[in-house]
């Protein structure tokens, strides 16, 4: 299942530099031309020729894709007339992946021919035109296809965490039997023989070319007032066999096509809360990867933009939440910390009651540490990579607790020493294979620390864009409590002896060596707490830097971030040094037995929700606290007030 690419709506995010487009295209009409209105039938515009083609003179410079007014485009000699350009952007912005509201009315043959003509005019590598279009009308065939799709949906649903599974059960993900016809778009990767221009080095471009035909079909259908829904809940080979396709053909798209009651104002997955739109500014890179910025605009700073978006709690929502708490059918203050959490959630969301913190995801950032060479732990360094494999196989403690809490677990390799094979649930974001020994030199360069922070920010962005409403911190890295102690000592001013713990359970001689190592690293580097990036580079871990970015990213997006243990607390101190208001988004999941955790939480002004004597890490304590956070939000939302329930309040 794919989702359509409409324009971004900044209201869905905490920041973004794109203009507010509403449901209209973002182009400016040329020479005062009026926008083409949408006819009642749902068809867009009137300037599309009967053949379905918009024209043949689109300049190579890409003028038709610019956002600036038509009069400012250069060279303009080959640009289409302003109304045509406007209509094109209106079609692009109005396209939807439709699953609901199809009508039984047949699609006229001339309309279908125009749509297929537009699809057939797509560009292709070497003009190989590897596509074919199979128009399915027979209900019996579509019922068999529908059964295949239902089976794959059930398989997918069985692997979803609790909140996602509940949300998925409410989604309609296909309309195979609801539309008068389905169109199967196939690809023949052998068409044209072995010497197709441009296919030699990249044979996969045959499928990419076919995707261009799908896009043309989709846009032409929208212009004609037809809805299209792409169904991908299939085993491709199983579907090809069911359709009786020759073995060399690939199914690229299965499309449900028909007239609709109305086109939704935004993607259906956005309206349902399943996912959110990424802003364009996140996706445009100038010159090289990571140099973000809109064309003609100033270069974007991922960290700077994120820090600028971190704000305190919304005062009005906080006041409303406190007032509502006093009106609920319970004695004032009887829910203790739970009431404070609900108020914080409301202030963070800017609304009362706040949304439930679901779906939720634990992001486990993994990295190795050069200081391991100093004998600060008896555990071998290869355990980091082995535990990553265990996380991905759902065999770790955090997997079990997260499953119970209904949260997803994803693993981010930001600095594991070993090379990890690709696997579902693994985000390969390695900055370097482990840090250097902080007693011999900086743990990493300043640039590497910045890049690791940016990995965390982007991970938060992507997970929230995927629909998650609560972020939980997780970590994995043998010897990472040593780096945590150093970070906490720097940011709190504590002595290493006060914040260095026993990690995985080390004996007294190893603990004394660990304290000495922290002392030595701090004396060598003398890190300045006013320079948090410098601190991370000197004595931090790659997972600490990434967690700091993850925390900042969540705060900027106004979603709650539940901290796990001492590693997350150390990272939170670095995040606060970068953006003091980040604490508005933070909830301390539990109190670790590591002494540095209490010192860090005190410095952050956070009260742990649980105190169970935990010191595992992984995100286990944060996952355990998730139901408490969810309960706080649900109480504020669902409990009746004295007035609504007809219950007498306390007599003054």
> pLDDT tens digit string along 336-389?
999 999 999 999 999 999 999 999 999 999 999 999 999 999 999 999 999 999
416 and 434 in contact (C-beta within 8 Å)?
yes
Beta strands (DSSP E) in 123-187 are 131-136, 181-187
- Please tell me what DSSP assigns to residue 588: E
The string of DSSP codes covering 515-561 is HHHHHHHHHHH---TT-HHHHHHHH--HHHHHHHHHHHHHHHTT--E
Q: Give the other-Cβ count within 10 Å of 451's Cβ.
A: 21
Task: Look at residue 239 and tell me whether its pLDDT is greater than 90.
Answer: yes
Is 650 assigned a catalytic role?
A: no
Helix and strand tally (H, E) in the chain? Answer: 23, 10
Quickly tell me which residue has 């083409």 as its tokens.
36
Q: Is the pLDDT of residue 553 over 50?
A: yes
In this prediction, residue 479 has a pLDDT band, given cuts at 50, 70 and 90, of: very high
Residue 291: pLDDT band by 50, 70, 90 thresholds?
confident
Map residue 385 onto helix, strand or coil: helix
pTM summary value? 0.84
Choose the catalytic residue: 174, 454, 594, 618: 618
Nearest-10 crossing angle of helices 542-556, 302-309: 50
C-alpha distances (whole Å) from 26 to each of 10, 40, 60, 61 are 13, 22, 21, 19
Count Cβ neighbours within 10 Å for each residue of 287-306 and write b for 16 or more, e otherwise: eeeeebbbeeeeebebbebb
- Residue 651 has what pLDDT? 66
Sign of the four-CA dihedral 635, 641, 646, 652: positive
Residue 548 has pLDDT above 90, yes or no: yes
Backbone angles phi, psi at 399, to 5 degrees: -65, -45
Give me the domains of the chain, ranges plus CATH numbers. Answer: 24-59+68-94 (no CATH), 96-264 (3.40.109.10), 340-636 (3.40.50.10210)
CB atoms within 10 A of CB 281: 18
Cα–Cα dist 446/442, whole Å: 9
3-state SS class at 608: coil
pLDDT score for 163: 86
Question: Quick one: pLDDT band at residue 74, thresholds 50, 70, 90?
Answer: low
CB atoms closer than 10 angstroms to residue 32: 7
Cβ-proximal residues to 381 (8 Å cutoff; 6+ apart), any chain: 368, 369, 372, 417, 434, 478, 479
- Give the pLDDT confidence of 149-197 residue by residue, as tens digits: 999 999 999 999 988 888 888 889 999 999 999 999 999 999 999 999 9
d(CA 626, CA 468): 13
54 pLDDT more than 70: no
- pLDDT grade, residue 2 (50/70/90)? very low
SS3 content of the chain, % helix, strand, coil (to 5): 45, 10, 45
In degrees, rounded to 5, the angle at the alpha carbon of residue 45 between the alpha carbons of residues 40 and 46 is: 105
């Amino acid at each position: 299942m794919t989702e359509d690419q409409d324009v971004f709506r900044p209201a869905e995010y905490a920041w973004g530099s794109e203009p507010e487009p509403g449901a209209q295209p973002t182009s400016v009409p040329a020479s005062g031309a009026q926008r083409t209105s949408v006819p009642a039938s749902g068809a867009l515009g009137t300037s599309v020729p009967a053949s379905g083609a918009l024209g043949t003179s689109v300049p190579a410079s890409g003028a038709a894709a610019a956002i600036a007014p038509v009069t400012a485009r250069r060279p303009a000699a080959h640009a289409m007339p302003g109304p045509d350009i406007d209509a094109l952007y209106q079609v692009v912005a109005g396209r939807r992946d439709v699953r609901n509201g199809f009508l039984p009315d047949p699609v006229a043959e001339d309309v279908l021919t125009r749509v297929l003509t537009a699809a057939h005019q797509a560009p292709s590598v070497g003009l190989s035109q590897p596509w074919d279009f199979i128009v399915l009308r027979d209900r019996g065939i579509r019922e068999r296809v529908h059964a295949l799709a239902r089976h794959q949906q059930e398989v997918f649903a069985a692997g979803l965490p609790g909140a996602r599974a509940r949300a998925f059960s409410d989604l309609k993900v296909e309309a195979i039997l609801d539309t008068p016809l389905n169109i199967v778009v196939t690809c023949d990767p052998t068409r044209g023989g072995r010497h197709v221009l441009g296919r030699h080095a990249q044979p996969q471009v045959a499928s990419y070319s076919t995707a261009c035909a799908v896009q043309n079909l989709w846009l032409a259908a929208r212009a004609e007032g037809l809805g299209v829904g792409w169904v991908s809940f299939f085993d491709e080979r199983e579907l090809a066999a069911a359709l009786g396709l020759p073995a060399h053909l690939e199914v690229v798209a299965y499309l449900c096509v028909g007239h609709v009651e109305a086109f939704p104002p935004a993607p259906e997955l956005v309206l349902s809360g399943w996912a959110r739109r990424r802003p364009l500014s996140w996706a445009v890179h100038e010159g090289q990867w990571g140099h973000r910025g809109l064309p003609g605009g100033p270069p974007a700073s991922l960290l700077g933009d994120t820090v600028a978006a971190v704000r305190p709690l919304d005062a009005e929502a906080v006041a409303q939440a406190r007032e509502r708490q006093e009106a609920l059918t319970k004695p004032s203050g009887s829910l203790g910390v739970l009431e404070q959490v609900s108020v914080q959630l409301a202030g963070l969301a800017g609304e009362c009651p706040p949304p439930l913190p679901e779906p939720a995801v634990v992001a486990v950032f993994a990295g190795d540490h050069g200081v391991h060479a100093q004998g600060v732990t008896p555990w071998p360094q290869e355990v980091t990579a082995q535990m990553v494999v265990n996380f991905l196989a759902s065999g770790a403690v955090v997997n079990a607790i997260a499953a119970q809490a209904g949260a997803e677990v994803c693993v981010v390799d930001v600095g594991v020493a070993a090379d990890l094979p690709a696997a579902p649930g693994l985000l390969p974001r390695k900055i370097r294979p482990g840090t250097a020994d902080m007693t011999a030199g900086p743990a990493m360069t300043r640039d590497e620390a910045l890049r690791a922070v940016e990995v965390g920010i982007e991970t938060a962005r992507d997970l929230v864009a995927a629909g998650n409403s609560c972020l939980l911190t997780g970590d994995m890295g043998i010897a990472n409590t040593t780096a945590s102690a150093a970070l906490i000592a720097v940011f709190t001013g504590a002595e290493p002896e006060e914040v260095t713990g026993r990690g995985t359970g080390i004996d007294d001689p190893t603990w004394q060596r660990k304290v000495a190592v922290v002392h030595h690293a701090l004396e060598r580097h003398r890190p300045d707490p006013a320079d948090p990036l410098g601190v991370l580079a000197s004595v931090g871990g790659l997972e600490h830097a990434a967690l700091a970015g993850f925390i900042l990213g969540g705060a900027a997006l106004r979603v709650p971030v539940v901290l796990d243990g001492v590693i997350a607390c150390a990272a939170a101190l670095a995040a606060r040094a970068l953006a003091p208001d980040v604490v508005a988004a933070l909830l301390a999941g539990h109190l670790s037995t590591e002494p540095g955790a209490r010192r860090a939480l005190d410095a952050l002004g956070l009260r742990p929700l649980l105190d169970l004597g935990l010191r595992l890490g992984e995100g286990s304590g944060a996952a355990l606290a998730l139901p408490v956070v969810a309960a706080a939000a649900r109480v504020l939302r669902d409990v009746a007030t004295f007035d609504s329930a007809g219950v007498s309040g306390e007599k003054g």
